[in-house]
Amino acid sequence: MPGPFTFPRHERLTRRSDYQDVYEHGEKSVGRGFICFVVRREGVGRKFGLAVSRKVGKAVVRNRVKRYIREIYRTRRPQLISGVSMVIVARPSAAALNFSECADAIDRLFRMVEVLGE
Protein backbone atom coordinates (compact mmCIF):
# COMPACT_ATOMS: atom_id res chain seq x y z
CA MET A 1 0.00 0.00 0.00
CA PRO A 2 1.63 3.28 -1.08
CA GLY A 3 2.09 5.91 1.57
CA PRO A 4 2.19 9.69 1.39
CA PHE A 5 5.93 9.69 0.65
CA THR A 6 5.87 7.83 -2.68
CA PHE A 7 6.45 9.21 -6.17
CA PRO A 8 3.71 7.52 -8.21
CA ARG A 9 3.92 7.17 -11.97
CA HIS A 10 0.79 9.26 -12.60
CA GLU A 11 2.53 12.30 -11.05
CA ARG A 12 5.54 12.19 -13.39
CA LEU A 13 6.00 14.28 -16.48
CA THR A 14 7.04 11.73 -19.09
CA ARG A 15 6.57 13.23 -22.55
CA ARG A 16 8.61 15.93 -24.23
CA SER A 17 5.41 17.83 -25.04
CA ASP A 18 4.56 17.99 -21.32
CA TYR A 19 7.96 19.50 -20.55
CA GLN A 20 7.65 21.98 -23.45
CA ASP A 21 4.23 23.08 -22.17
CA VAL A 22 5.62 23.80 -18.70
CA TYR A 23 8.64 25.66 -20.13
CA GLU A 24 6.53 27.82 -22.47
CA HIS A 25 3.56 28.62 -20.23
CA GLY A 26 5.12 28.33 -16.79
CA GLU A 27 6.24 30.79 -14.19
CA LYS A 28 10.04 30.70 -13.89
CA SER A 29 11.89 31.08 -10.61
CA VAL A 30 15.69 31.02 -10.38
CA GLY A 31 17.53 30.04 -7.24
CA ARG A 32 20.86 28.76 -6.03
CA GLY A 33 21.66 25.73 -8.14
CA PHE A 34 18.18 25.20 -9.59
CA ILE A 35 15.47 26.73 -11.78
CA CYS A 36 11.81 25.93 -11.17
CA PHE A 37 9.07 26.21 -13.81
CA VAL A 38 5.46 25.98 -12.56
CA VAL A 39 2.14 25.92 -14.44
CA ARG A 40 -1.10 26.07 -12.46
CA ARG A 41 -4.00 24.08 -13.93
CA GLU A 42 -7.08 23.05 -12.00
CA GLY A 43 -8.27 19.47 -12.29
CA VAL A 44 -5.01 18.10 -13.69
CA GLY A 45 -3.52 16.99 -10.41
CA ARG A 46 0.12 17.34 -9.48
CA LYS A 47 2.85 16.61 -12.07
CA PHE A 48 6.61 16.75 -11.58
CA GLY A 49 9.63 16.48 -13.85
CA LEU A 50 13.33 17.18 -13.64
CA ALA A 51 16.10 18.02 -16.07
CA VAL A 52 19.83 17.67 -15.47
CA SER A 53 22.01 18.42 -18.49
CA ARG A 54 25.56 17.33 -19.20
CA LYS A 55 26.73 20.81 -18.20
CA VAL A 56 26.16 19.75 -14.58
CA GLY A 57 28.85 17.08 -14.75
CA LYS A 58 29.60 13.52 -15.70
CA ALA A 59 27.03 10.73 -15.33
CA VAL A 60 27.81 9.96 -11.69
CA VAL A 61 27.32 13.60 -10.67
CA ARG A 62 24.17 14.03 -12.77
CA ASN A 63 22.62 10.87 -11.32
CA ARG A 64 23.41 12.00 -7.78
CA VAL A 65 21.74 15.38 -8.41
CA LYS A 66 18.69 13.61 -9.89
CA ARG A 67 18.44 11.33 -6.85
CA TYR A 68 18.60 14.37 -4.57
CA ILE A 69 15.84 16.19 -6.50
CA ARG A 70 13.55 13.14 -6.56
CA GLU A 71 14.05 12.51 -2.84
CA ILE A 72 13.34 16.14 -1.96
CA TYR A 73 10.16 16.09 -4.05
CA ARG A 74 9.10 12.74 -2.60
CA THR A 75 9.40 13.96 1.00
CA ARG A 76 7.75 17.37 0.31
CA ARG A 77 4.92 15.84 -1.77
CA PRO A 78 2.28 15.78 1.03
CA GLN A 79 2.77 19.53 1.56
CA LEU A 80 2.53 20.52 -2.13
CA ILE A 81 -0.72 21.89 -3.51
CA SER A 82 -2.64 20.06 -6.21
CA GLY A 83 -3.25 21.41 -9.70
CA VAL A 84 0.34 22.28 -10.59
CA SER A 85 2.83 20.94 -13.11
CA MET A 86 6.44 21.72 -12.28
CA VAL A 87 9.91 21.08 -13.65
CA ILE A 88 13.12 21.49 -11.66
CA VAL A 89 16.17 22.19 -13.84
CA ALA A 90 19.61 21.73 -12.28
CA ARG A 91 22.21 24.39 -13.00
CA PRO A 92 25.92 23.52 -13.18
CA SER A 93 26.43 24.92 -9.67
CA ALA A 94 24.14 22.16 -8.30
CA ALA A 95 26.99 19.66 -8.70
CA ALA A 96 28.84 21.23 -5.77
CA LEU A 97 25.88 21.11 -3.37
CA ASN A 98 25.33 18.38 -0.80
CA PHE A 99 21.87 16.99 -0.01
CA SER A 100 20.94 19.49 2.71
CA GLU A 101 22.03 22.44 0.56
CA CYS A 102 19.96 21.08 -2.34
CA ALA A 103 16.98 20.66 -0.03
CA ASP A 104 17.30 24.25 1.22
CA ALA A 105 17.59 25.61 -2.32
CA ILE A 106 14.58 23.66 -3.59
CA ASP A 107 12.49 24.53 -0.52
CA ARG A 108 13.28 28.20 -1.15
CA LEU A 109 12.14 27.79 -4.78
CA PHE A 110 8.92 26.05 -3.68
CA ARG A 111 8.18 29.00 -1.37
CA MET A 112 8.99 31.52 -4.14
CA VAL A 113 6.52 29.93 -6.58
CA GLU A 114 4.00 29.33 -3.76
CA VAL A 115 3.37 25.62 -4.24
CA LEU A 116 3.60 24.64 -0.56
CA GLY A 117 0.17 24.32 1.00
CA GLU A 118 1.31 24.10 4.67
Complete DSSP assignment for 82-97 = SSEEEEEEE-GGGGG-
Domain ranges in the chain are 12-112
pLDDT in tens, the chain (118 residues): 456 667 778 888 889 998 999 999 989 999 889 999 999 888 778 889 999 999 999 999 999 999 999 999 888 888 888 888 899 999 999 999 999 999 999 999 988 888 777 5
Query: What type of residue sits at position 35?
Result: I
Collapsing DSSP to helix, strand or coil, 80 comes out as: strand
Q: Can you give the pTM of this predicted structure?
A: 0.87
DSSP type of residue 10: G
Q: What number does CATH give the domain 12-112?
A: 3.30.230.10
pLDDT of residue 91: 94
Closest CA to 4 of 56, 61, 80: 80
Strand partners, 27: 38
Query: What type of residue sits at position 64?
Result: R
Q: Spell out the alpha helix ranges (H) of the chain.
A: 16-25, 59-76, 99-112
pLDDT of residue 1: 41
pLDDT of residue 116: 77
